[in-house]
Amino acid sequence: MKGILVLLIVFICVSCATVKTIDPPGNHVEIAHQGKKSYCKQIPRVYSGVCYNLCLLYGEPSQELNIGDAINGIPFMVFDSAFSLVSDTVVLPYTIPMQAKKGPIRVN
């Protein structure tokens, strides 16, 4: 049981997008990559970490190839999305009532 609990804590701590969107101050979050803002206007609280990462892709175009930090050529966002999927699933009992109570999270 302790191993599962530790594993869940590691998933939550590793996925930055879920941590940023679990309870943002003022119900607002900034989504930008290399100074280029996202076109997303809002994201749902349910699976907000995954939506955050998808909104990183939906933004102002860049004139140069810039995938950000990468591990062996794979963008960090891919790993973060996988961990966010797991973390977002774990926090569903919290995010579903918050979605009903507060609504979606405003972006930019």
Residue 100 or residue 108, greater confidence: 100
Task: Give the number of domains in the chain.
Answer: 1
pLDDT digits (tens, 9 = 90+) for 16-45: 888 889 889 999 999 887 777 889 999 999
Contact by Cβ (8 Å): 66, 35: no
Contact by Cβ (8 Å): 50, 88: yes
Please, which pLDDT band fits residue 13 given cuts at 50, 70 and 90?
A: low
Q: In this structure, what are the phi and psi dihedrals at residue 103, rounded to the nearest 5 degrees?
A: 80, -170
pLDDT digits (tens, 9 = 90+) for 57-92: 888 776 666 556 667 777 778 888 888 898 899 899
